[in-house]
Amino acid sequence: MNWNKILLTLSWVALVALISATAGYVVYGPHVPLPYVYQPETAAHESPQESGNGHSAEPEGQGQESLLKPEEIAQKENEQEHADPVQPPPPVTPEGGEKESPEQTSKEQTSQDTPPEGNIAPGTDETATSSDKASPDTKSGQKPEPEKEAVAETPVPGSAVTEPEETTETAALAPAQPTTSSPAVKKSPALNLPNWQRYSQQQPAADGRPRIAIVLTGLGLSRAATDAAIRQLPGAITLSFTPYAKDLDSWIALAHSHSHEVLIDLPMEPLTYPSDDPGPQALLTGREPEGNLRYLAWIANRGSGYVGMSAYMGEKFVTSERQMKPVMEYFKDQGLLFLDNGRNEASLAPRIGLELSSPVLVNNRAIDEAQLSRVAIDSRLAQVEQIALRNGYAIATGRPFPVTLERMASWIQGLDQRGYQLVPITAIIPQPTDPALAKTASPQG
């Protein structure tokens, strides 16, 4: 192999290529026309300054420059260099948008990057177009509306509209809660009524007979017992569910379908705490009131559609003025009734509720607390009738034990014949026009 010939050949090839490139540069010059390259419209519209309506400010004629060839662009730049000095920008309106001249407006209306109105599909909102296209108000020379006014606040169907005056009053009545607390209890948008009236069942007409309200507490933990109480007991029986139950809203909806009024058990500190533990979310006297309000909000938001809460334990907590006052203010603010279990005669709930004009009821008998037997339950139910004769009404509580449900169902069958009226718990709330219910029930009758 002759390397000298190879190197000589490569040298001649390189020399010919160099001569050809030099001749092409001399003949054609540096401005060789390049093939047309499509430029997206968004690239032509990008600008460091934006107009007041949120769209980028597009100079006049810029939408057409993207279609010119390189030599035409260079010629246009030379013309602009010898043109008149740049005119000052147009005056700015108080809203921050620039006034457009009629000539500029007509040019923008015929711009190629703006689709005609006929291209918009029927039913398509013009505000849904991309931000690089001017709005119709800008094209017509009108001042664009601010974004906050362009989007109207459409109320959610079924939601309640809160008036400013009502918000101010609620803020004044509600206790000081930390920002980490849960939101307020869920409310129905039906009427501007407190929850104990909004979710109450149809009240029976007063016929002069003594009224008796039965509240079954502790529901939701046993599926069989809860289902039996909802389906087998009459709708006048009030059902109170524990906040620790699963699918609480489903249970409440089932109870409403059988015309039951609903309460939520409120666990509070008893005198025997910690030997008797009311649960992890219970209200305790050793905790700051703000902390108890957070636990109360958690319990309140476990479900919806209930008229109030029933005290679970709580013999010690209800005697603390420092703790009960914020709790009762919360009940007042949320429109809930409070059912005191009547275990402690020193409870402050009735007095604080009277001061706040918030409904507070006191239980007269727990029919299955002392002894869980048929004889003991029947005896307690007979005492409830005597209290109703004396006071005009009576409140009794029970738990979903099989023997309790059996004796209660048997007792209810002859209640009308004995001259008593079985009513839901809200029918016992004192009314100014009902002198019988205007009396204050004492604990345990």
Query: How does pLDDT run across 297-349, given as a tens digit for each residue?
Result: 999 999 999 999 999 999 999 999 999 999 999 999 999 999 999 999 999 99
Strands 393-398 and 211-219: parallel
Least confident residue range of 64-73, 121-130, 203-212, 367-376: 121-130
227-244: pLDDT as tens digits: 999 999 999 999 999 999
Reported as a pLDDT band with limits 50, 70 and 90, residue 17 is confident
DSSP secondary structure letters along 59-83: -TTHHHHTTS-HHHHHHHHHHHHTS
pLDDT digits (tens, 9 = 90+) for 270-297: 999 999 999 999 999 999 999 999 999 9
For 219, phi and psi rounded to 5 degrees?
-80, 155
Angstrom distance (rounded) from CA 136 to CA 177: 48
Q: Are 308 and 331 in contact (CB under 8 A)?
A: yes
d(CA 264, CA 50) in angstroms, rounded, equals: 56
Among 71, 63, 86, 305, CA closest to 199: 305
What is the average pLDDT across 3-9?
A: 84
**0.85 cut: is pTM over it?**
no
| Domain 194-428 in this protein, CATH class | alpha beta
For 223, the 3-state DSSP assignment is helix
Tell me the domain boundaries of the chain.
194-428
What stretch of H or E contains 356?
helix 349-356
Rounded Cα–Cα distance for residues 96 and 53 (Å): 9
